[in-house]
Amino acid sequence: MRSTVRQDVQKPLPDGLGTAIRATAGDIAALLRCVSDSAVPVPGSEWTVGEAAAHLALANELMADLARGLERPYGDGTPQSLAAANARSLALFGERAAEPLAAKITEQADVFLDAVERHAPGDRATAAPPVVTPLGAMDRTVLASYLLTHMLGHGYDLARAVKRPHMIDPDRVGLCMPFMLSVMPHVTDPAATAGLTARYTIRLRGGGTAFGVTLTDGAVEVTPGPPDRSDCTILIEPVAFLLIALGRRNPWRAIAQGQVLARGRKPWLAPRFPTLFAAP
């Protein structure tokens, strides 16, 4: 009898993440192909539709280069440095027409996924080294979640600009969570967290996603499960969570619409939670 050796092969990405990246890039491209004037302003932004689309095309290319293992310095992670890097990149890239930008967004999403596939380890003993991103070192799964999150945020802006439905849904929000949990300690607002000691549990409605945020005299720790003896549990609708986290939604409006509920020993801590972080 011939024996076989089991190969413990890792998938390059969690189930659904690659599909969501391609689908989101395609949804954004479809929005852009309906645009007759790329000079239309994006609500709540200094950018036009053409500038926002150009930024997405360049960002997808940046992410693809990072996935390939290339070094691409791009600010130091602070909102100010990222804004300056965005301005520099847009100044050097003149394309603002919708069709070529739509093509570049989808093309670079595919290049990214091809790079992730090529760098996937064949077994658990050959993990690929992390890549250095504008928001810290990440493995390629977190980087892919970053790419998806970034496209969803700007895709939402473009959808508002052209008055069409956005592409954010609970399943895609769930796939953003590896990046969200990774980045939260990097985007805390020191002035808002100074001196605060509190334990939060955040639960997304309709699924099993729950995570903890513990502050100890201002120091922040994020865990993939609830902390012991949570002070405040926040139950939030997934799409509202992502939009609030990305600075696209007023948390008070979400509270007023019943999309956010709080309970626990100190429920009054809930309104303070969004103020602890500064969206990059």
Decide if 179 is inside a domain: no
Do 39 and 110 share a domain, yes or no?
Answer: yes
Which residue type is seen at 197?
Answer: T
d(CA 93, CA 99): 15
Q: Tens of pLDDT along 29-66?
A: 999 999 999 999 999 999 999 999 999 999 999 999 99
Do 225 and 135 share a domain, yes or no?
Answer: no
Decide if 237 is inside a domain: yes
Instruction: Decide if pLDDT at 75 tops 80.
Output: yes
Listed residues 139, 171, 203: the one ending a domain: 171
Instruction: Decide if pLDDT at 76 tops 90.
Output: no
Do 26 and 118 share a domain, yes or no?
Answer: yes
Do 121 and 194 share a domain, yes or no?
Answer: no
Q: 200 exposed, middle or buried (CB, 10 Å; 0-12, 13-18, 19+)? A: buried
Decide if 3 is inside a domain: no
Decide if 11 is inside a domain: no
Report the number of distinct structural domains present in the chain: 2
Which residue type is seen at 252?
Answer: W
Domain span at 259: 187-276
Do 136 and 48 share a domain, yes or no?
Answer: yes
Decide if 177 is inside a domain: no
Cross-strand pairs, 233:
201, 263
Give the mean pLDDT of the chain: 91
Handedness of CA 248, 251, 252, 254 (dihedral sign): positive
Handedness of CA 92, 176, 178, 249 (dihedral sign): positive
d(CA 12, CA 15): 9
Please state the rounded mean pLDDT for residues 138-167: 97
Do 28 and 142 share a domain, yes or no?
Answer: yes
User: Using an 8 Å Cβ cutoff, are 267 and 232 in contact?
Assistant: yes
Do 121 and 64 share a domain, yes or no?
Answer: yes
